Amino acid sequence: GHVHRRGRLVPVGLDEVKELLKIPLVKLESHTLTHPNLTKIPLDQARNEVVQSKQYLEEAFGKEIKYFCYPEGAFNPDLMSIVEEAGYRMAFRTGLKFQSYPETPYSVVRIKISPKYNLFVFWWYVSGFGYYVKRVDHFFHQLTLDIANGKLNAYKPQSGTT
């Protein structure tokens, strides 16, 4: 695994992770073995990434791994099934780019936090305001089919129809 230190991503070893896990607020869950975008690799390879990550973490740390997060937030129904079959109880996605999928135990929306965020941006997202603004923006983009002459047109009849 990796952690952010002074703005840089640095590798950590098993012993260091075990020390971190002694902190009650620190949780360890799965995110694949090599962090590929699972929607862009063959399903058999995706299954191996999901299953082997869970097995490795459970063996290395002696605890049940219950949750999974899709790398890059990218998922589809086939991947949701793979994650469920692997024995995870829940899976998380990030962002709104997969908004057309309903939120289920295997597609729970999570707020993405970056170490690049300053304190205000961090607060903006954690408070829910950033997510709310994105959802409202997404909603209006779905409704808005046409903007003509500075006017919002939710419906534009085709020419030649009455």
Contacts of 156 (CB under 8 A, 6+ apart): 145, 146, 148
For 133-151, the pLDDT digits (tens) are 777 776 666 665 555 555 5
What residue has token string 């939710």?
154
CA count, 13 A, side-chain hemisphere, 126: 9
State the angle between helix axes of 129-143 and 119-126 in degrees (0 to 180), rounded to the nearest 10. Answer: 60
CA count, 13 A, side-chain hemisphere, 28: 24
Q: pLDDT-based confidence at 35, cuts 50/70/90?
A: very high
- pLDDT of res. 146: 52
Contacts of 138 (CB under 8 A, 6+ apart): 96, 99
The whole-number average pLDDT for the span 41-53 is 97
Asked whether the beta carbons of 33 and 53 are under 8 A apart, the reply is: yes
Asked whether the beta carbons of 75 and 91 are under 8 A apart, the reply is: yes
Q: What is the pTM for the complete model shown? A: 0.69
Asked whether the beta carbons of 90 and 69 are under 8 A apart, the reply is: no
pLDDT at position 118 over 60: yes
Of the listed ranges 41-45, 102-106, 112-116, 119-123, the least confidently predicted one is 112-116
Asked whether the beta carbons of 65 and 59 are under 8 A apart, the reply is: no
The more confidently predicted of residues 46 and 121 is 46
